[in-house]
Amino acid sequence: MRRFSSGLNAVMNRVHQAAGLVAGVTVAAVCMSASALTAAAAEESTFAERLGWKRTDVVVLLHVDDVGMSHASNLGATEAVSRGVATSWAVMMPCPWVPEIATYLKAHPEVDSGLHITMNSEWGPYRWGPVAGKSQVPGLTDPEGCLWRSSAATVLKGTPDEVEREIRAQIDRAETMGLPITHIDSHMGTLFARKEFFERFAKVGIEKRVPILAVGANGVHSRLENGEAMDYLKPWVKQIWNAGLPVLDDLHTGSYGWKPEEKMEKLLQLLRELKPGVTEILFHASRPTEEFPIITGSSESRRADLQCLTDPRVRQLLQERGILQTTWRELAERRRKAADMP
């Protein structure tokens, strides 16, 4: 996914203005200080604790998005997992290079691989359409027959029924190709950009017993970066957990906006300051090929993500701080042994 919060709050503001809606959360709530959130979180068990870790444990998933989007994306993801510290990735099923990663996964079934549910085709000359087909989800397609370029357009043009139909089509294609599905999340955060879309996302995950990207209410980074989306999610957290699916304590999506030359230091600082609980940190690691800069203007940013995830300084800091790494597969296994929320 392009940065999950790549302006998701800004997208929501544009959608609200266009539709004449009022944002459901104040600027003060979105900008709540990290210290206040940490204090609130201290009053209750973290989801890491509920999953069997100690209260003081710092647990992290270093996750790669946009797998299957291009050959460069696949090269970066496989290198980040095999040589680096990445522990999980998610595949974009509508994209042309999915068969390559499907072949890789057959040879490496141990990889923690989920689906990056895709409702947008954002790049200039490099496009893809819905897996369900234009006739089945016309509101999700633009005049070229491709998925809309922006989340805002999808929110305004698409319907919840079409979104659910496309989610199921992408899962079905993955199952048909034999891809493992350890979890499902959302490309560009589009499934979090409208309450009704998230409800369908959660519905399918619960029905299929596939973990979905869900974050508890006390996440520091998730609240600051994606405050309104977290408000949509809050009433669902207990229901998702009690349906037998894991929930994260926090989600960091900001690396997409870091300048390439600053990424290493910013990642090290983030890891130094990471709070107890289970946190997912998103990356878009790629090994740029000759045509990759034509596909996306974020080529160097994605190269820098790969460099961070394969740099020995990151692995060393994880070891020095005693940060525990996990996968969505492990989260699901731990949830099966955990108690429901009262």
Over residues 87-109, the pLDDT tens digits come to: 999 999 999 999 999 999 999 99
| Predicted confidence (pLDDT) at residue 31 exceeds the cutoff of 80 | no
The Cα 221–Cα 156 span in angstroms is 27
Mean pLDDT, residues 247-268: 97
For residue 56, give the 3-state DSSP assignment: coil
Residue written as token pair 């959130």: 37
Q: Give the separation between CA 61 and CA 284, rounded to whole angstroms.
A: 14
- Mean of the pLDDT values across residues 225-253? 92
CA neighbor of 158 nearest in space, from 191, 188, 131: 191
- Residues near 105 by beta carbon (within 8 Å), at least 6 away in sequence: 111, 113, 178, 179, 180
pTM of the model: 0.89
**What is the residue-averaged pLDDT of the chain?**
90
In whole angstroms, give the CA distance from residue 6 to residue 254. Answer: 8
- Give the three-state DSSP class for 58: strand
pLDDT one-digit tens code per residue, 161-190: 999 999 999 999 999 999 999 999 999 999
Q: Which of 49, 187, 180 is nearest to 130 (CA)?
A: 187
Q: From CA 79, how far away is CA 234, in angstroms rounded?
A: 35
The domains found in the chain, sorted by start residue, are: 8-23+38-337 (3.20.20.370)
